[in-house]
Amino acid sequence: MRLLPVVVTVFLTVSVAYYVYIPLPDSIQEQWKLMMLDAVIRAMMHLSHWMDPLASEHYITSIRQSVEGFQSMVNGMASSEPDRGGAPGVKVSDITFAGIPVRLYEPPAGGEGHLRRGLMFFHGGGWAFGSVKETSYDKVNRMVSDELNAVVVSVEYRLYPEVHFPVPYLDCLTAAKHFLSEEVLSRYAIDPDRVAVSGDSAGGNLAAAVSQEIAMDDTLSVKFSVQALIYPAVQALDFNTPSYLQNEHMPIVYRSLAIRLWLQYLGVDLSLVPQFITNNHSSLQHTHIDPELRARLDWTVLLHPKYKKNYKAVIVEKGSQGAVKEVPEMLDVRSSPLLAGPEVLAKCPRAYVLTCEHDVLRDDGMMYARRLQDAGVTVTNHHYEDGFHGCFSFITWPLDFDVGRRATRDYIDWLKNNL
């Protein structure tokens, strides 16, 4: 009988190791830390899915509660970190802009000059997760406010499952127009020629889409002067780009999860996930997707050969019937800013686009950078060969990664020099 505890212990140890371990590229640093983080996230998602039939609330809500609990635990572990909050002199207020909740960061008095810079930030999270109050976003926005003498506005837009497209976009657009109004700029002493919009992942999608709308709105006297996009999701027509295939099983966002988040945002029946995985939803039989539109996301032309590797374009002759008619949101530039015409992109402000090698969204960001450049926009593309999706958010101990700290520093330095 003494052997039984040993057998059980070994079995549990092997099972946990099997669940935690995933093969990672050699270029990824701090591999075990990433594996452990990914295992925790997967466990929370799996548990929420298993509990979903028994729960009275949506599984997304359950995951949010688990994430909040995990975040609280991490905050407690990091409580002794000297620079945990970053820039303690920054004044932080939770207010509303035209009815939209925002977190406002004001730099300490006595910054450079009289007028200050301004930045509007949209957090990531697949349009279903995330908050302005998350430690990582809060820390970065405090740093930006302090180092750039900038007024930063982080928008708490509404999320799935409470809402879906176009509500998050409209929340962000409403807050942006309010921020750019002469009254607000004057109230916070912001230079109207030095206002930026930024966001990561889903927030990068929102930042790009809002930037386009603001650039085309002739009724606005003040527009964004720069846009800073961190691994943005900018299209939902091709889920077989080289980066989607290369990083299909790469943390933190797997290919299947990315597609699921897109479908949730667009209000699509999740039973159609297999159709989207195989690009059946964008087959040649869909006359709504004409050759000119397809050219706007043709990675075989827009990507550098280094990133195309040996992958081939997946173009389906005949796919799911009526997918585009059922989901017209796929072709809406407010959800897929990569589909905007060159005349729109030409009016957009100069851009910073951060991309990561080990990220399903790598090619989205690179294609958008290329199309902006082709339209005459000045673009800086910082690419991290050791980067993975979400690394920008991991800068606070114990969830800090060297690539995250470098990405954050490069982002802030670019804003210093270009805003």
pLDDT per residue as tens digits for the range 48-100? 666 655 555 677 877 777 666 666 665 655 555 555 556 789 999 999 999 99
pLDDT tens for 226-245 read 999 999 999 999 999 999 99
Write the pLDDT tens digit of every residue in 125-179. 999 999 999 999 999 999 999 999 999 999 999 999 999 999 999 999 999 999 9
User: 2-16, 276-290, 377-391: which has the minimum mean pLDDT?
Assistant: 2-16
Whether 198 is catalytic: no
| Per-residue model confidence (pLDDT) at position 96 | 98
Cα–Cα nearest to 120, from 233, 213, 227 = 227
Residue 281 clears pLDDT 90, i.e. is over it: no
186 is catalytic: no
φ, ψ at 326 (rounded to 5°) = -75, -30
The answer for residues whose C-beta is within 8 angstroms of residue 157's C-beta and 6 or more apart is: 100, 122, 167, 168, 171, 172, 175, 206
Tell me, yes or no, if 320 is annotated catalytic. no
* Residue whose C-alpha is closest to residue 319's, from 352, 289, 362: 289
**Considering 154, 201, 283, 320, which one is annotated as catalytic?**
201
Contact 76, 87 (CB under 8 A): no
> Which pLDDT band, with edges at 50, 70 and 90, does 327 fall under?
confident
Cβ-based neighbour number of residue 235 at 10 Å: 25
Q: Is the dihedral of CA 51, 52, 55, 58 positive or negative?
A: positive
The pLDDT of residue 11: 41
The pLDDT of residue 120 is above 60: yes
Q: Which of 359, 363, 364, 386 is labelled catalytic?
A: 359
Eight-state DSSP code of residue 194: E
pLDDT at 398: 81
pLDDT surpasses 60 at 412: yes
Interval 327-334 mean pLDDT: 90
Better-scored residue on pLDDT, 140 or 45: 140
Which one of 171, 200, 389, 393 is the catalytic residue?
389
- 46 versus 81: the higher-pLDDT residue is 46
pLDDT number for residue 399: 84
- Supply the mean pLDDT for the chain: 89
Question: pLDDT tens digit string along 9-27?
Answer: 444 444 455 467 788 999 9
Q: What percent of the chain has pLDDT over 70?
A: 85
In sequence order, which residues have a C-beta less than 8 Å from that of residue 266 and are 6 or more positions away? 164, 165, 236, 327, 329, 330, 335
The closest alpha carbon to 96, from 180, 211, 194, 178, belongs to: 178
